[in-house]
Amino acid sequence: MRTLEQLVRPNIKSLKPYSSARDEYSGAEAIFLDANENPFNDPYNRYPDPYQRKLKAKIAELKNIASDSLFLGNGSDEPIDLSFRAFCEPGVDNIVSIDPTYGMYQVAADINNIAVRKVKLTSEFELDVDALLKATDSNTKLLFICSPNNPTGNSFKKKDIERILNEFNGITILDEAYIDFVPEKSFLPELSKYPNLIILQTFSKAWGMAGIRLGMAFASPKIVSVFNHIKYPYNINILTQQKAFDLLQNPEAKDEWVNILNNEKEILKENLSQFSFVEKIYPSDANYLLIKTEKPLAIYDFLVGQGIIIRNRSTVSLCEGCLRITIGSESENASLLDALKKYSS
Ligand code: PMP
């Protein structure tokens, strides 16, 4: 297995990071005349903690991990981009990704001028582990697995993910954005077994905080330290740090929402299966359903006309005819079903 030192880009390894005022002095009580801040308009006048210590301690406690294995980003999109900047030499290195999957891996790769080697899932939306490993070479730095996968909704088999973790000679990024809907399938309890694993989670889904932009990357303290060196100094603003800390006092709210949404998903599935135009509903571990229909665009357009917006995924690999429907509240889902009844009549 290549070590972190062998995988990090040479310029990043030798980088002298920006040292902010709050890096140089982080004590709480003092007269702060070091950061050219305005003394008025407390508390918004002060720069936030660059390492989000108070918030990280709370998350570490909830997740049962050490704080130094946690990086916080402006959404989990930030650590996706940082992974390219840390490990991939533009125009030289490549990444391997499953297909179909979350679109930002490709966009981040394109921004960073990194080739993406896409490996199709099987027709059952499972990992083709042999093909994934075969697609890698000595310039493959990252391998992206999203589980539960967006847009297919399924989680991958534990033994398949383990094989990749054991056999891929680079950094595996396991995107668990939807894992709170199936917490028992998370790899987080096994993080310390895999020094080249980065697990992404987010507060945007089950936690209901997409608007405050807060994502998590769990990894070895060494990888977290690389991210800390290259991130914007104050990447998480004080409003987000404070609001997330407050909302995390009540994790039971998240558990309750997960129960409601998982239950609503079953009800929606049952009701959708009654429509003759729904050919297939794929199994989902996430807060959305992927359905196959004969006329995805006609249904999509009809629903827009009814003021209901779903996602047309019919042009995505292996998803011909597919629509992705996010699970809403009981009344939102009822409105969707009413509109679909109108469509079918
Ligand atoms: N990963 C996956 C699989 C996603 O679907 C999304 C958002 N749609 C993200 C990451 C990004 O989440 P965030 O809001 O934390 O940037």
- Ligand 1 atom nearest the C-alpha of 210 is 14
Q: How far is the CA of 104 from the centre of ligand 1 (A)?
A: 8
* Cβ atoms 110, 32 nearer than 8 A: no
pLDDT tens string 152-178: 999 999 999 999 999 999 999 999 999
Question: Is the minimum distance from the CB of 146 to ligand 1 under 6 angstroms?
Answer: yes
| Bridge pairing between strands 278-281 and 288-293 | antiparallel
Give yes or no for residue 180 CB within 6 A of ligand 1. Answer: no
37-74 per-position pLDDT tens digit: 999 999 999 999 999 999 999 999 999 999 999 999 99
| CB of 97 shorter than 6 A to ligand 1 | no
Q: Is residue 33 scored above 90 in pLDDT?
A: yes
Q: Closest by alpha carbon to 321, among 342, 288, 290?
A: 290
Any ligand 1 atom below 6 A from CB of 75: yes
What is the Å distance from ligand 1's center to 108 Cα?
Answer: 13
Counting ligand 1 atoms within 8 A of each CB, the residue from 204, 207, 311, 316 with the most, and so the one to mutate, is 204
3-state SS class at 139: coil
Model pLDDT for residues 196-207, shown as the tens digit of each residue: 999 999 999 999
**Alpha carbons 300 and 265: distance in angstroms, whole number:** 19
CB of 76 within 6 A of ligand 1: the answer is yes
For 65, the token pair is 């991990």
Residue 299's nearest CA partner among 318, 270, 275 is 275
Domains of the chain: 4-249 (3.40.640.10), 252-344 (3.90.1150.10)
pLDDT, the chain, mean: 97
From CA 215, how far away is CA 223, in angstroms rounded? 16
What pLDDT does 21 receive?
85
Kindly calculate the radius of gyration of the chain based on its CA atoms and give it in whole angstroms. Answer: 22
Q: What is the DSSP letter of 105?
A: H
In the DSSP assignment, the letter for residue 180 is G
Ligand 1 within 6 A of 241 CB? no
- DSSP-derived letter for residue 188 is G
